[in-house]
Structure 1
Amino acid sequence: MTALNPGSPEGSGMSGAALQRIDDHLKRRYIDAGRFPGTQLMVYRRGNLVHNSVQGFADLERRVALKDDTIFRIYSMTKPITSVAFMILVEQGLVALDEPVHKYIPEWKNLGVFQAGTAPAFMTKPPTRPMQIIDLLRHTSGLTYGFQQRTNVDAAYRDKQIGTLDPAGTLDSMIASLADIPLEFSPGEAWNYSVSTDVIGYLVGKISGISFEQFLKERIFNPLGMADTDFLVPADKAQRLAACYNATVGGMMSARSPDAKSGLTLQDDPAKSPFLSLPSFISGGGGLCSTAADYLTFCQALLNGGERGGVRLIGPKTLALMTTNHLPGNRDLPDMSRSMFAEATYAGIGFGLGFSVTMDPAKTLIAGSPGEYAWGGAATTSFWIDPAEDLITIFMTQVIPSSAYPIRRELRTMIYAAITESNL
């Protein structure tokens, strides 16, 4: 586990009592109520870890307590790491954001836009312009996720197990399959949460000349000391992997649930989890496991302009570009999204190159700062970085779906309420 520098909340302009109220809220409303098995919350401000609370269980069935070094499935919190990896290649001059994707994936050159029909008899039209690299990073590519369950294109993804929690095949086979499925829309015309970041992971491997997972180890994980972050949990760490659960919301219990009181159904048993071995599909969009401490290390590098402890991932100007809203016309997600699901849904939130970006806190109706950037994962993990307030928050639990409860809104509200000395 990464070494941390603890400090008092008051010494960093925050209220210890207010932070304790968040722990009480999590325990009473979520853990004791059977909504979450356990939680870990880290708050880092002004160079100090001012709050690190660990509550409840990592594994309810075996009554294993959640600990500081518990390993979590971070799912889509993989996306910012993959995006940073790609921007390392951009900084090296090996690829540019406005290049067409078919330069690197020739079989996609003639991808059409869905008009009608079902697989394999789709009717399509040509896109208004080719898909560009930037479309992959900001999810304006026209690709989708199988779990969206909105269109015939989504259904074609599900048929091939593309963009699901248990994707089939390999990165290469996904790229080949997508050549036969039309785009949802012309690139740049809308925002749709999708396998775009998995494609970015594929391109990292193709452009760098080494495997995507090896690139992450050599350029990010090993230099930063993120020893517990990987696409698998090795045997000597298996006992640290948390169980993952499906949420049952509104008192309606799933038929699979043996315990009508808990509101949680076991989704992935850590004793026989697929994360215990290296998957055939290396997902840059959602495949990593990590600890709160490791992910905080990654976030510290970002908050510090791309560098931590003498290790520079990317330059501050590149990071500034990544954390600027790149949605066409400076629109926000609700205005441009066709997605049935995203890890951020508020008005006033745009999207950069791998992160959601707060443009106008007043429109979100939640306390925050312009320029705050964030994302989350399917099992309700989340993070945000607020450069203006010199603040990082990491939240970990293991409950699917992330939309089951308004925990992210509540955490933002309560953590910003704990600030006693604003930098603004």
Structure 2
Amino acid sequence: MTGLRDTLQPYVSDGSVAGAVGLLARGDRIDVQAVGALDADGTTPMARDSIFRIASLTKPVVAAAVLMLIEDGKLAYDDPIGTWLPELASPVVVRTPAAPVDDVVPAARPITVGDLLTSRAGYGFASDFSLPAVAPLFEDVQKDGLHPQHLSPPDVWLATLARIPLLYQPGETWLYNTSSDLQGVLIARVTGGTLPDFLAERLFEPLGMTDTGFVVPADKRNRFASYYRTGSEGGLELVDAPDGQWSRMPAFPSGAGGLVSTADDWLAFARLILAGGTAGSRRLLSADAVRRMTTNHLTEAQRETGALFLEGQGWGYGGSVDIARVDPWNVPGRYGWVGGTGTSAHLVPSTGSVALFLSQQEMAGPTTPPLLRDFWRYAAEAGADS
């Protein structure tokens, strides 16, 4: 069996990515391989502690923070979010998903906290991006999620969202992304503070996630990977440099995709989940909250609506849950997600294993790129051999 480095290195050698970090952990055994460089010029080698834009790997972290507020007694799963987000207290819904944005009916019931956690609030992306109600959502509030300095402050962002009708009735089906941003705004409103402060106090500091946040300080940018996409003529095209979008705190800290982190920081979060909510001698989440987080909540029909993103998987809170072995690298019960900046993080509660992949290469769409599938395949084989 080839090693982890041998799996990743060919993609650096052929210019597909500038660099990457892969991590596999099971118990105390950890295999970490860093290949390539922080930038396409190859001036600074990639390292285990390199910092990446983790994009949608933010979602599980923010979902865990919402669960903390539930366990604090400040929220409940069935609470209408309109109590704290009055802009969304009386939403309207397009009559059918294909209906014009002005052909609306009142929502059958309020959006709840549980709807946000399961990504069934009625806002978000389905498999068809051409639906009329998706266009204003994408163009007005979600388009620049990977460019945080372009987003409006939470109050303005929420007021803009409130003018857009829901695509589906609350609780009806799974839709991608927007519910996680709403979770971030909800946390700020409930606590009377900010999402970055709450995450730092309740998760990052207790877990020792010292390199995770919404901004990269100047003294850490020498470890921050540049961010690329594939150019129109091939090759790597720079999207964001270390002194760019993440060099200062954004007006809108995105709960759907705004964090930066390292392999070891996200591993610390994964181990919290694997340990049933405990970190050392401290309990940060209850075992029941962790069970809810890592359990599929979708029906078969709801999974089908989100098939473009879910690829046969279910959805817990903030991440997908494998409910069957639909590919060689799937493991029933595996929880985690991928990020549009070329990242992936999954854990398997039954085996205590974690697989993390961090790169700086923008994904072209929801379809998983070959490098990531090769990493998953290797992770599955390594787990089977251990």
Give TM-score scaled by structure 2 length.
0.92
Deviation sequence 1:32-75 (CA, Å, 0-9, x none)? 111111111111112321x1101001111362211122110001
Give matches, 1:269-418, under 5 Å: 269-270=241-242, 272-327=243-298, 330-331=299-300, 334-337=303-306, 342=309, 345-347=310-312, 349-361=313-325, 364-401=326-363, 403=367, 405-418=369-382
Which of 53, 58, 71 is the matching residue for 1:78? 58
Kept after mapping to 1: 8 A contact 2:100/2:133 = no
Kept after mapping to 2: 8 A contact 1:171/1:202 = yes
Change (3 A) 1:323 1:184: same
SS of residue matched to 1:26 = helix
User: Residue 399 of structure 1: CA displacement?
Assistant: 0.8
Change (3 A) 1:324 1:407: same
CA distance in 1, matches of 2:90, 2:383: 52
Report the counterpart of residue 169 of structure 2 in structure 1.
186
Which of 123, 126, 136 is the matching residue for 2:106? 126
Change (3 A) 1:139 1:146: closer
Q: CA RMSD in A?
A: 2.2
SS of residue matched to 1:246 = strand
Report the counterpart of residue 57 of structure 1 in structure 2.
37
CA distance in 2, matches of 1:84, 1:377: 17
Report the counterpart of residue 142 of structure 1 in structure 2.
122
Change (3 A) 1:392 1:159: closer
Q: How many residues align?
A: 378
Asked if 1:37 is matched to 2:18, the reply is yes
CA distance in 2, matches of 1:291, 1:324: 26
Kept after mapping to 2: 8 A contact 1:147/1:158 = no
Kept after mapping to 2: 8 A contact 1:191/1:333 = yes
Kept after mapping to 2: 8 A contact 1:146/1:161 = no
Report the counterpart of residue 187 of structure 2 in structure 1.
204
CA distance in 1, matches of 2:68, 2:270: 16
CA distance in 2, matches of 1:352, 1:117: 31
Unaligned runs of 5+ in 1: 1-17, 249-253
What one-letter code is carried by the residue in structure 2 that aligns with 1:36?
V
User: Residue 192 of structure 1: CA displacement?
Assistant: 1.2
Deviation sequence 1:63-110 (CA, Å, 0-9, x none)? 221112211000110111100011001111211111222222222122
Give TM-score scaled by structure 1 length.
0.84
Deviation sequence 1:216-259 (CA, Å, 0-9, x none)? 111011111111001000011111110111135xxxxx1xx5xx
CA distance in 2, matches of 1:173, 1:365: 42
Change (3 A) 1:390 1:306: same
Report the counterpart of residue 226 of structure 1 in structure 2.
209
- Which shows bigger deviation, 230-239 or 103-112? 103-112
Deviation sequence 1:334-379 (CA, Å, 0-9, x none)? 4232x7x53xx322x1101112111112xx1224432210111111
CA distance in 1, matches of 2:29, 2:297: 31
User: Residue 158 of structure 1: CA displacement?
Assistant: 4.0
CA distance in 1, matches of 2:141, 2:324: 37
CA distance in 1, matches of 2:305, 2:132: 20
Report the counterpart of residue 4 of structure 1 in structure 2.
none
Asked if 1:247 is matched to 2:219, the reply is no
